[in-house]
């Protein structure tokens, strides 16, 4: 079975995490996030993956190569100008080899889910659908694409990010994983930006195509924002959502080879510590991502935060839901909470900050 993975987005909501690293390559539980998706796709019977790249496209192939180490064949299709989600699918389909009637899996490159992929494909075949969509239920659907269905799972409408409360007719939302009959992909316009959510799906529905929704409420997380990215990494480390790509057994923390954790430091909540990172005595790191070569000094307290590669967190500094860019230096006795973001390479002196969203 073949799959297209959409990995070309700019990931602007995640900045500065995505300043130098595309979202699907951000280390999550010790490996680029994409590694989790690729191994899960492989386990579901996918043998050929087409990566639709655009933003920072050059970093994917040196890491994953031809895919053989994952038991996959990986083909890279680059967009010189971003084509949007639908345009990227159409463009990447050039590299598919299956027959027009065969199903093709499409994944957004920023979704972590325990979805039974094989069951989605089976349901697609049984329904005889043109396109099937994984749907999940969320408490506040307003930030998502709403997809109401009838009792048989037939899609009735698409409402992308509803602005008016009257438009919220369901809690079922587009979860970013689809099965397309190969020939349907060829109906997407070629060579121009197209949004699959705003143009392709509503257009197919209006033309009478059979769109089938499969509600699956297993683990699902959209890693578009920092808090979700950090949470997903912690959930992977703790085995709440299993992934064969996590480089270690499930547990309260994961320390990669070459990291130094002093006696008396406390790691918990699914924290991952990257190679060459150093955690000093009495530091407390809970539910966080600490990338390679970062340093957390004595007595610092880090909770639900992202610490970029080579960043330094000074003694006694408190971070809560903070994002610290690569090589940034936060001096001693600072307090950054509530989603504070520190840009790559910036320097914050000792005791200079008590909460700032953008430093």
Interacting residues toward ligand GTP by CB under 6 A: 6-13, 23, 52-54, 79, 82-85, 88, 108-110, 224
Closest to ligand GTP by CB, 12 or 218: 12
Report which of 273, 188, 223 is spatially closest to residue 4, judged by C-alpha positions: 188
Q: How far is the CB of 176 from ligand GTP (least distance, A)?
A: 7
Closest to ligand GTP by CB, 110 or 333: 110
Closest to ligand GTP by CB, 84 or 331: 84
Closest to ligand GTP by CB, 228 or 250: 228
Q: How far is the CB of 195 from ligand GTP (least distance, A)?
A: 9
Q: What are residue 312's DSSP bridge partners?
A: 295, 329
Closest to ligand GTP by CB, 134 or 316: 134
Q: How far is the CB of 87 from ligand GTP (least distance, A)?
A: 7
Q: How far is the CB of 168 from ligand GTP (least distance, A)?
A: 20
Closest to ligand GTP by CB, 108 or 271: 108
Report which of 286, 297, 289 is spatially closest to residue 324, judged by C-alpha positions: 289
Q: How far is the CB of 144 from ligand GTP (least distance, A)?
A: 11
Q: How far is the CB of 113 from ligand GTP (least distance, A)?
A: 13
What is the phi/psi pair of residue 288, to 5°? Answer: -130, 165
Q: How many CA atoms lie within 13 A of 228 on its CB side?
A: 15
Q: How far is the CB of 96 from ligand GTP (least distance, A)?
A: 15
Q: How far is the CB of 318 from ligand GTP (least distance, A)?
A: 27
Closest to ligand GTP by CB, 55 or 355: 55
Closest to ligand GTP by CB, 223 or 284: 223
């Amino acid at each position: 079975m073949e799959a297209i993975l959409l990995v070309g987005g700019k990931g602007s909501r995640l900045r500065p995490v995505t300043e130098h690293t595309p979202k699907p390559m951000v280390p999550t539980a010790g490996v680029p996030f994409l590694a989790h998706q690729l191994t899960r796709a492989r386990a579901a019977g996918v043998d050929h993956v087409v990566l639709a790249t655009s933003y920072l496209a050059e970093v994917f192939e040196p890491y994953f190569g031809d895919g053989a180490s994952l038991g996959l064949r990986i083909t890279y299709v680059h967009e010189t100008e971003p084509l949007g989600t639908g345009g990227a699918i159409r463009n990447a389909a050039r590299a598919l080899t299956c027959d027009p009637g065969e199903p093709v899996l499409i994944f957004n490159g920023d979704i972590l889910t325990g979805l039974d992929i094989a069951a989605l494909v089976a349901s697609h075949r049984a329904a005889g659908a043109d396109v099937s969509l994984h749907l999940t239920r969320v408490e506040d659907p307003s930030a998502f694409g709403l997809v109401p269905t009838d009792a048989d799972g037939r899609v009735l409408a698409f409402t992308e990010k509803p602005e008016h409360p009257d438009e919220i007719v369901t809690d079922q939302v587009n979860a970013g994983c689809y099965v397309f009959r190969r020939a349907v992909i060829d109906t997407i316009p070629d060579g121009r930006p197209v949004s699959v959510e705003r143009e392709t799906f509503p257009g197919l529905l209006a033309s009478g195509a059979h769109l089938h929704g499969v509600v699956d409420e297993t683990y699902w997380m959209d890693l578009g924002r920092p808090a979700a990215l950090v949470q997903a990494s912690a959930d992977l480390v703790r085995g709440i959502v299993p992934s064969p790509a996590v480089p270690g057994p499930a547990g309260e923390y994961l320390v990669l080879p070459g990291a130094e954790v002093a006696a008396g430091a406390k790691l918990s909540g699914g924290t991952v510590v990257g190679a060459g990172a150093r955690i000093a005595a009495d530091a407390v790191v809970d539910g966080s991502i600490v990338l390679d070569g970062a340093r957390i000094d004595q007595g610092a307290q880090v909770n639900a935060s992202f610490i970029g590669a080579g960043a330094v967190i000074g003694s006694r500094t408190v971070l809560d839901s903070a994002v610290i860019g690569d090589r940034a230096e936060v001096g001693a006795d600072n307090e950054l909470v509530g989603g504070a973001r520190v840009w790559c390479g910036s320097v914050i002196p000792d005791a200079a900050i008590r909460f700032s969203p953008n430093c």
